[in-house]
Amino acid sequence: MSLLTIENFINNEHVKPSEGSYFDTFEPARGVAHALIPNSSKADVELAYKAASAAFPSWSKTSREERAKILYRIADLIEARLEEFAQAESKDQGKPVELAKTVDIPRAASNFRFFAGRILHAVEEAGELAGIGFSYTQRMPIGVAGLISPWNLPLYLLTWKIAPCIASGNTAVCKPSEFTSLTAYMLCSVLKEAGLPAGVVNMVFGTGMGAGQAIVEHPRIPLISFTGGTVTGAKIIANSAPHFKKLSLELGGKNANIVFADCDFELALKTSVRSSFANQGEICLCGSRIFVQRPIYEKFLSGLVQGAKALKVGDPTLKDTDLGAVVSKEHWEKIVGYIELGKKEGGTIECGGQKPASLEVEFQDGYFLEPTIISGLTPNCRVMREEIFGPVVTIYAFDTEEEAIQLANDSEYGLSCSVWTENGRRARRVASEIQAGTVWVNTWMARDLRMPFGGMKKSGLGREGGDHSLDFYSELKTICLAD
């Protein structure tokens, strides 16, 4: 089988990597190579930067109305190719096609449509300075942005960066994950067809150590938006510090899911199954630490195990598949290593922990793993503290509201939290005390693009979403006119 050869996209043209080097990317469901990815270098990033820099003066002066028209066209073109994008996302990342079709690709289109509308209705501040004159603010595009996106929600999170970046008048050098480059490659043709001028968005494919580091260290790229692991985020902070870059970092999560005894039991249980294992648990917002109030602990654990066992793991192309394959062999081995560690730390594997025995022959070499629930661990165990990023959750009983808050906050991370209770006053009290960027009460993954999104502690720096994204991708200038 011949492999698809992906090429860099620079100045609206497909370009081979300067050193002519490629590497394989694998289809997780089958464990076989399906595409060749450019092993781009510093030289390729420099070419992309020059194209973006040359395009910036014209694009930054393009009217909001014209920019919005192009973003709306991009959204329409993504939606017109929904099935094609969903199939590619599944093949490249391992997720079920149905999930990509109903979540990933529609949200990618929504990102462009939302920010197209947002810039048309943006209002600047103005005010009279008594006895002196009049002051007003002006948003200015910053220049060439470096956008580095992850492998778990490839197109969705890449467009979450591109849309506000170019809507604000910036140009971009993008680096998708080397594990999931296919839909980013497909997006290039959409951008060109939509009429985006040459050089406004450039796509450089390759590794984090190669192309990614070259973007971060580039002395004339003043802004970096990164979604990925906390360890890499720390390196980005260190490497970009000498250049005083503006940073937005969405990093790891070890999110608490707090279930009080007075919850809507069926709703909390059903949603907790989804928030534990959606996208094979490869969502930074998954509730991987489940804390259940003791009176309902045994009943909830039983229901959670039953729900996990009912999930169908296998062929991602089938409509009724719930979990596909995890992204890579190395990641599968890491997850299995944590399950073994959980046993050593005294945990009980309530269900899962194995490759499914029912896989069809063509998927026997794929990176599949049953949804796994571990009980009996103490809060200081590594499995309860370190990000696993797979279909593995821990469950632990608590007694009081104060204990639940303490357990949830006892973490290096602070990305999100879910709280389940029918007591409105308790909901407000607990939500206000949780140290996380997003707290959901009686729901999960409800995303309002107008609201700020980001993490506390080691879950990241900065906020994006709505005007927070426009603030990040802009410099805000105050102009004072004397009377």
Q: Known catalytic residues? A: 250
The answer to whether the CB of 145 falls within 8 A of the CB of 226 is: no
Please tell me the distance from the alpha carbon of residue 427 to that of residue 447, in angstroms, as a whole number: 19
Length of the chain, in residues: 483
DSSP output for 308-331: HHHS-BS-TTSTT--B---S-HHH
Helix (H, G, I), strand (E, B) or coil at 109: helix
Between 294-310 and 265-277, two packed helices, what is the crossing angle to 10 degrees? Answer: 50
Nearest in space to 299 (alpha carbons), one of 403, 418, 395, 391: 395
Nearest in space to 373 (alpha carbons), one of 301, 280, 325: 301
What is the Cα gyration radius of the chain? 23
Buried b (16+ CB within 10 A) or exposed e, 452-483: bbbbbbbbbbbbbbbebbbbbbbeeeeeeeee
Nearest in space to 268 (alpha carbons), one of 442, 394, 440: 442
Burial class (CB in 10 A: 0-12, 13-18, 19+), 190: buried
Q: Name 263's Cβ contacts closer than 8 Å, sequence gap at least 6.
A: 296, 420, 421, 422, 442
> How far, in whole angstroms, is CA 331 from its chain's centroid?
17
The answer to whether the CB of 466 falls within 8 A of the CB of 451 is: yes
Please tell me the distance from the alpha carbon of residue 219 to that of residue 383, in angstroms, as a whole number: 39
Tokens 């103490």 correspond to 378
DSSP code of residue 241: G
DSSP code of residue 465: S
Question: 300: part of which helix (H) or strand (E)?
Answer: helix 294-310
Nearest in space to 174 (alpha carbons), one of 142, 148, 211, 144: 148
The pair phi, psi for residue 438, each rounded to 5°, is: -135, 130
